[in-house]
Structure 1
Amino acid sequence: MSTVLQHYNHLHQIPELGFQEHQTAAYIANELEKAGYKVTRNINNTTGIVAEYDSGKPGPVLALRADMDALGHIIDGVHCARHTCGHDGHSSILLTAAEELIKEGSIKQGRLKLIFQPAEELGSGALAMIAGGAIDDVDMIIGLHLRPKDECPKGFASPAMYYSASTTVEVNIHGIPAHGARPHLGVNALDAAMMAIQAVNTIHLAPSLTYSVKATRCICDAGVTNAIPSKAYVCWDLRAPTNPAMDELKAKTLQAIKLSVEAIGAKADIEVSKEIPAAEIDNEVSQIITEAIVDVLGSEGLKDPIFTPGGEDFFNYPIERNVKAGFWGLGCDLTPGLHHPEMKFDLSALENGVKITKACALKVLG
């Protein structure tokens, strides 16, 4: 029988935040070494893992990638890590597929590389792996993600996930403090923050684009009720369907913040703290995934490509290294939604993930 549930049950019990996946990485690396892979740990001084199997014959280098990190939540007032995005499922699928591919002697040409990546939720894990040389010799890379039930039910899979670009902008606004009875002597940082939020809300891109930009955090407090606050912090979340659209949205956002704050004499320290690119998917790779899905689930189990406003740092791989990339979605009856603290899914769908992952590898290296 497949070991996917055994791996999942273990990983699910040890959720760890980005770049802190020490137990997770140790377990995965040990299991890969037992299976016969050459394993390199601590890629770029992180918890990242690269495992490799060389067939000894000429051929392409295929990388299969899974993310390992859990999400941070505040539950009943307690900060905790919890697997609410399915990364434990992704790692279990890839680990099981890797074991079976070697056991069955399926790799007939080229090399198979397994990328177990930290810190996807932080948006910096893929970049850390790239900087560590994880895909310098890779010709093609494939990733996957569990999907919500209303998007892709169990028994179905989508051959291409078109994620949007996402950007986080953090701004510290500096005004001038004053007594509440003498507002003319100060510059109200709260007023500046409100003006910046309103200015950003007036931004428009072409109506044909699915985009959004909105403030998601605002902190401002003078400490008392009768003083003009001199400092404010505001965070914006930006989403756009393409990388050029994100470039336009980001430029307009930064300009709106800067000019609106300066209009009343305040200053803004602006930081673009996280940038995740939109999907760059290769048609050849999507065709390979399509054929693999049909092999496993039949043509009736093949969903259309999915377009989502969510972000996925996987797409740094094709953008930074110009490698052919594909990314597919696995139906698993996931409810009530990704990142929900009570997220759950049908664990039996993990077997479909293992079979489709193996089928993809065989079409390239078999």
Structure 2
Amino acid sequence: MLKVLEHYAYLHEIPELGFQEFKTSAYISQQLKAAGYRVADNFNGTTGIVAVLDSGVPGPTLALRADMDALGHIINGEACARHTCGHDGHSSVVLTAAQELMAEKAVKKGRLKLIFQPAEELGTGALAMIAGGAVDDVDMILGFHVRPAEECAVGTAIPAVRYSACLTIEVTVRGQTAHAARPHLGINALDAAVSAVQAVNAIHLPPGKSWSAKATRFLCDAGVTNSVPDEARVIFDLRAAENEDMTLLQSRVERAVLQSVAAFGATAEIEIVKSMPAAEIDDEMTTLIAGAITEVLGEEALMSVRSTPGSEDFFHYPVQRPQVKAGFWGLGTGLVPGLHHPDMRFDLNSLPVGVKIFKACVNKVLG
């Protein structure tokens, strides 16, 4: 179990952004090959890795997925990559579980598949793996995430974490420049963009739904202070607990933006920057994970199913391939002060627990 801490110590010091995980994937690939796995590097032209252990005996194909990328931060005025979402921990846990399962000859039937995925933070890593056929032959797929301290204490685990859908929209508002002394000759893109933000803030979905829509970035600068700006860019972050609610919310936001800027004579171009679906979790997989948690930590450590407004591109797998049964669980790690915080940290002694839970799942399905 100390191997997981060795892996983490190395991966934590080489954070790499999405689709740039060259050192990370090279290290993981080397470790998997040394353990005896059949490994496909640079999967679908990315930094992704797919490794397979085939027992040679008929049975299901179970996949374990880990994300590899770090986050981009600006710290003390300098851009840098830093592991502030625990993906280095995720990769370390799945890699160690894979090594121990191989050494123990634990896979007695079916196939164990390992998916080390790039670019989760970009929302496109899972899609790239799916497009390359990574889960076309998979019956079940399991993933996990380290959890903040307020959600899940060290020594406990959540059998299913229901993530929300997330949509990032960039709106480019175009008007017409003019001298500020003669604003009637132009179309003020700044005014039109402000109106679009207010129109989005005025949207209402049924009160029983869980959702949000808000502007998170606003850029507008004509270069001088006495000119009417002809362009403004606004980023909107949309969240919804259910995929059908996100479809409705997106249509409402786009309508609000287009109609509000049109009132000023401006136009708007709408681009989807990032899209992640809401959780699609199979009950059978949740039961499997719950049994593994209980086996490793005891009944008292089994938490109830939780929902989160956060998003996770793991759920592209079951949404794009509905035949794949998906489970996604949360590991108590005492994580503070929060995910994506530049100073995020957690109890590393929780990582061996994650290894044991994944191994228990594999033993139940393929042992």
TM bracket (short chain) = over 0.9
1:121 Cα deviation (Å)? 0.2
Following superposition, which runs of at least 4 residues in structure 1 exceed 2 angstroms of deviation?
none
Aligned to 1:294: 294
Q: Distance in 2 between matches of 1:144 and 1:239?
A: 21
Q: Distance in 1 between matches of 2:27 and 2:260?
A: 51
Q: Which amino acid aligns with 2:76?
A: D
For the pair 1:49 / 2:49, whether they are aligned, the reply is yes
Q: Distance in 1 between matches of 2:315 and 2:244?
A: 15
1:273 Cα deviation (Å)? 1.6
1:272 Cα deviation (Å)? 1.4
Q: Distance in 1 between matches of 2:321 and 2:244?
A: 19
**Aligned ranges for residues 82-93 of structure 1 at < 5 Å?**
82-93=82-93
1:12 Cα deviation (Å)? 0.3
Q: Distance in 2 between matches of 1:194 and 1:212?
A: 18
**Aligned ranges for residues 131-210 of structure 1 at < 5 Å?**
131-210=131-210
SS of residue in 2 equivalent to 1:3:
helix
Instruction: Check the 8 A contact 1:65/1:94 in 2, yes or no.
Output: yes
1:209 Cα deviation (Å)? 1.2
Q: Deviations 1:236-292 (Å, cap 9, x if unpaired)?
A: 000000000000000000000000001110010111121100000000000000000
1:101 Cα deviation (Å)? 0.2
Q: Deviations 1:322-345 (Å, cap 9, x if unpaired)?
A: 110000000000000000000000
For the pair 1:350 / 2:351, whether they are aligned, the reply is yes
1:203 Cα deviation (Å)? 0.4
Moved more, 201-210 or 278-287: 201-210
Instruction: Check the 8 A contact 1:153/1:333 in 2, yes or no.
Output: yes
Q: Distance in 1 between matches of 2:288 and 2:36?
A: 26
**Aligned ranges for residues 114-133 of structure 1 at < 5 Å?**
114-133=114-133
Q: Distance in 2 between matches of 1:117 and 1:58?
A: 27
1:2 Cα deviation (Å)? 3.3
Aligned to 1:274: 274
Alignment root-mean-square deviation, CA: 0.5
For the pair 1:214 / 2:214, whether they are aligned, the reply is yes
Aligned to 2:248: 248
SS of residue in 2 equivalent to 1:167:
strand
Q: Distance in 1 between matches of 2:95 and 2:2?
A: 11
SS of residue in 1 equivalent to 2:2:
coil
Q: Which amino acid aligns with 2:63?
A: A
Q: Which amino acid aligns with 1:237?
A: D
Q: Distance in 1 between matches of 2:87 and 2:136?
A: 24
Unaligned runs of 5+ in 2: none
For the pair 1:20 / 2:25, whether they are aligned, the reply is no
Q: Deviations 1:156-183 (Å, cap 9, x if unpaired)?
A: 0000010000000101111010001101
Q: Distance in 1 between matches of 2:88 and 2:253?
A: 36
Aligned to 1:64: 64
Q: Distance in 1 between matches of 2:53 and 2:189?
A: 57
Aligned to 2:365: 364
Aligned to 1:327: 328
Q: Which amino acid aligns with 2:134?
A: A
Q: Distance in 2 between matches of 1:111 and 1:261?
A: 55
Q: Which amino acid aligns with 2:94?
A: L
SS of residue in 2 equivalent to 1:258:
helix
Q: Which amino acid aligns with 1:228?
A: V
Identity within the alignment, %: 64
Q: Distance in 2 between matches of 1:30 and 1:353?
A: 22
1:104 Cα deviation (Å)? 0.6
Instruction: Check the 8 A contact 1:19/1:118 in 2, yes or no.
Output: yes
Instruction: Check the 8 A contact 1:171/1:233 in 2, yes or no.
Output: yes
SS of residue in 1 equivalent to 2:41:
strand
Q: Distance in 1 between matches of 2:161 and 2:359?
A: 19
Q: Distance in 1 between matches of 2:188 and 2:27?
A: 53
SS of residue in 2 equivalent to 1:252:
helix
**Aligned ranges for residues 301-320 of structure 1 at < 5 Å?**
301-320=301-320
Q: Which amino acid aligns with 2:216?
A: T
Aligned length: 366
Instruction: Check the 8 A contact 1:71/1:84 in 2, yes or no.
Output: yes
Q: Distance in 1 between matches of 2:223 and 2:42?
A: 44
Q: Distance in 2 between matches of 1:218 and 1:38?
A: 48
Q: Which amino acid aligns with 1:278?
A: A
Q: Which amino acid aligns with 2:206?
A: A
Q: Deviations 1:210-246 (Å, cap 9, x if unpaired)?
A: 1100000000011111110001000000000000000
SS of residue in 2 equivalent to 1:141:
strand
Instruction: Check the 8 A contact 1:2/1:96 in 2, yes or no.
Output: no
Q: Distance in 1 between matches of 2:247 and 2:82?
A: 33
